[in-house]
Amino acid sequence: MNSSIRSKQIIIIGAVLLLVAFLFTRDIKGLVKPTEENGKMPEKGQMAATESTPSTAVLSIETTSTAAKNVLNKNLATDITALENSYKGAKGAEKIELAKQLAQKWDDVEQITPSALYLEVIAQEEPSSKAWLAAGNQFMKAFESTQDSLAQPALLQKANASYKKVLEKDATNIEAKTGLGVTIVNGLGAPMQGIAMLLEVVAKEPKNVKANMNLGIFSIKSGQFDKAIPRFNTVIAIAPTPEAYFYLGTALENLGKNKEAVDAYLSSKKLAANPTLSSFIDKKVAELKNKN
């Protein structure tokens, strides 16, 4: 029994190491960008923040804007600064309109955190399920695309709070329920509570990409590789991404299905078209082929 448990632990540790290695390589569009606000990956367990944790104090429009401007070219930074100066002196409808422009400007240059913070301002001033959903989704996107271990729990908390605001206004909103479940699975509450919410979502929408993706990732983290595979296959059939193929490869590898794992890894490499990830996958593929 001890030997069996030890073997399973080794498999799970191997999967986690693979996922961490992949996260470090993610600098393609829509994934982690090498900005000055990005730091190291958080240590295991750092996402177990609760809403009472004052980690949101690390986020403010001023600090995130300053950090983000450091990685923009001078002309873009100057344009945004001019808009922000106008925003600071504006009131009422004009202020909200400028906040919308700034949210879009920051999103256009792929600096997601300041964009999310301006969307939060808009939702606070013009509360609606649509506005809070936009803020929640952007906070979640920022959480997924930063490696700043201080910002991560703060972004997750803001996403969680935004999705709750949506559900207060529209309890049937599937997108908000999915997002809330994802925040819980990632550390804001008991994981099984979040899993239950995501399972409710896929019961109503079997092809929901976000719910299936996160259920698959949780299955890998908990060593349930057989359960992860159909989740990622569902995602790939609808919206194939490098991450979905990579996670699928990880699950297949840990089940000893090396040939299928190689195919999944190579599909991830092809979609990502990223030199760092390509190098990592080439090494992984060579290892798997040598095992056959």
What topology does CATH give the domain 47-205?
Answer: 1.25.40
Average pLDDT over residues 82-89: 94
pLDDT at 292: 61
- What pLDDT sits at residue 273? 82
Q: Is the pLDDT score of 14 beyond 70?
A: no
* Mean pLDDT for all residues in the chain: 83
* Domain 11-41+206-292: top CATH class: mainly alpha
pLDDT surpassing 90 at residue 121:
yes
The predicted structure's pLDDT at residue 191: 87
Higher-confidence residue: 219 or 291?
219
The predicted pLDDT at position 57 comes to 56
Q: Measure the CA–CA gap between 145 and 148, rounded to whole angstroms.
A: 9
Residue 140's alpha-carbon distances to 156, 158, 206, in angstroms, are 6, 8, 22
In this prediction, residue 9 has a pLDDT band, given cuts at 50, 70 and 90, of very low
pLDDT at 158 over 90: yes
User: How much is the pLDDT for 56?
Assistant: 55
pLDDT of 4 > 80? The answer is no
CATH 1.25.40.10 domain span(s) along the chain:
11-41+206-292, 47-205
Lowest-confidence pick of 16-30, 139-153, 169-183? 16-30
For residues 271 and 12, which has the higher predicted lDDT (pLDDT)? 271
Give me the pLDDT at residue 29, please: 32
Residue 5: what pLDDT? 44
Q: What is the mean pLDDT of residues 99-123?
A: 96
Check: pTM over 0.85? Answer yes or no.
no
Question: Is the model's pLDDT at 235 over the cut of 50?
Answer: yes
Q: Give the distance, in angstroms, between the CA of residue 118 and the centroid of all CA atoms in the same chain.
A: 19
Buried b (16+ CB within 10 A) or exposed e, 208-244: bbbbbbbbbbbbbeebebeebbebbbbbbeeebbbbb
- Is the pLDDT at 122 greater than 90? The verdict is yes
Whether residue 86 is predicted with pLDDT greater than 70 in this model: the reply is yes
Q: How confident is the model at residue 58 (pLDDT cuts 50, 70, 90)?
A: low
Assign 55 a pLDDT band (cuts: 50, 70, 90). low
203 closest CA partner among 180, 177, 221: 177
Please say if the pLDDT value at position 170 is more than 50: yes
